[in-house]
Amino acid sequence: MNGAQLSEFPDDSEPLRPHVSGLRRRALQARELSAVRTFSTPFLIKFLRARDFDEELSLKLLLNYQRWRRDSPEISTCLSPSSVLGLLSTSYHAVLPQRDHTGSRVLVYRIGQWNPKDWTAFQVFRVSLITSEIISTEPETQRRGLKVIFDLQGWSLGHALQINPSLASKISSVLSDSFPLKVRGIHLVNEPMFFRPVFAMIRPFLPDKIKQRIHMHGADFHNTLSDFFSPPVLPPEYGGEGPSIERACQDWTNQLLQSENLLQQIATHPTGDITITPEDALISEEGETEPL
């Protein structure tokens, strides 16, 4: 049975158990996770689905996720939507209510709504991480992945100056091999010519499979986005028939605010596996049961 077939099974299905046990065993034997005593099944399945149940690749992704959280505390230790509510209130970001024809989640970022005088690039990046943590818990998103639309209208020199090589590396790391989500497509619209130097900074860090999924639509995006998304998916501002972008942004902001406590638990948990309590994490391997 291949990974795509396995991905369709619910988390507690018998065919998934050997793969969950195998990844758990590999993770507990990894030198970098020597202090960790156990991982829950739902947490491990996020990584397995993101790598089509290849245990070796799933372990690499899990280790990268843990390494990224450890090495970037300036971002990973604060996932509070309230801390960036001012930015969210500008209709900067939305997860559209309807999935595309493949089942992928569709995310929109409106860069022009970000005032670089008010919000640092780290705070803006935090919005992406907050959303990523929430949607990575959705089994359908684990299976079908996500697609992103970056609206670059209003991109300015002030934005460009916020993106340094260190941040570019962190952004590309999350996009490629440090977060349990499949990026199925990246669509740039309204991109100005002077955005290209910033994109050139990020591009080398991206794997070839991500590079091949980047589409630049320019100002004529109404005629080309429809090749990738059906009208009910997109807001009218992007040539679709769905709810307005302002409504979609507000609805998603409300959903994030309702997840404030959950996100805070993820940010402060040593591994991000909030289904494992500190007490559970101390159970020895010999006495460990298979947590569901």
Residues 8-35, mean pLDDT to the nearest whole number: 93
Give residue-wise pLDDT tens across range 54-79. 999 999 999 999 998 888 888 888 99
Report d(CA 146, CA 142) in Å as an integer: 9
Distance CA 229, CA 28 (A): 42
Which segments of the chain are extended strands (E)? 93-95, 105-110, 146-151, 183-189, 214-218
Query: CA-to-CA distance for 201 and 239, rounded, in angstroms?
Result: 30
Lowest-pLDDT range, 7-16, 30-39, 152-161, 166-175? 166-175
pLDDT higher than threshold 60 for residue 45: yes
User: For residue 145, is it left (φ>0), alpha (ψ between -120 and 50) or beta?
Assistant: left
Q: How far apart are CA 192 and CA 185, in angstroms?
A: 20
Quick one: pLDDT at residue 280?
63
pTM: 0.89
User: Which of 223 and 104 is assigned the larger pLDDT?
Assistant: 104
Q: Kindly report the number of other CB atoms within 10 A of residue 81's CB atom.
A: 24
End-to-end alpha carbon distance in the chain: 22
**Identity of the highest mean pLDDT range in 37-41, 75-79, 146-150:** 146-150
* Mean pLDDT in residue range 120-146: 94
Mean pLDDT for the chain overall: 89
**Mean pLDDT calculated for residue range 176-201:** 86
- pLDDT tens by residue, 87-130: 999 999 999 999 999 999 999 999 999 999 999 988 898 999 99
Residue 55's identity, in one-letter code, is E
Find how far residue 268's CA is from the centre of its chain: 18
At 96-105, the pLDDT tens digits run 999 999 999 9
- Predicted confidence band at 291 (pLDDT cuts at 50, 70, 90)? very low
pLDDT of residue 175: 62
The pLDDT tens digits of the residues spanning 204-221 come to 777 788 889 999 999 999
Is the pLDDT higher at 64 or at 198?
64
As given in the structure block, the two tokens for residue 56 are 């070796």
Contact (Cβ atoms closer than 8 angstroms) between residue 135 and residue 89: no
Own/partner pairs, 133-140, CB within 8 angstroms, 24+ separation: 133/79, 133/263, 133/266, 133/272, 134/255, 134/256, 134/259, 134/262, 134/263, 135/95, 135/105, 135/181, 136/46, 136/179, 136/180, 136/181, 137/42, 137/46, 138/105, 139/10, 139/11, 139/49, 140/99, 140/103
Q: Which domains does the chain have, with CATH numbers?
A: 3-71+276-282 (1.10.8.20), 77-262 (3.40.525.10)
- Does pLDDT of 282 surpass 50? no
Q: What are phi and psi of 93, to 5 degrees?
A: -145, 140
Instruction: Kindly tell me if the per-residue pLDDT of 288 is higher than 60.
Output: no
**Three state DSSP letters for 235-264:** CHHHCCCCCCHHHHHHHHHHHHHHCHHHHH
Q: Which residue has the tokens 């409504």?
A: 247
Q: What is the mean pLDDT of residues 167-178?
A: 73
The Cα 3–Cα 50 span in angstroms is 10
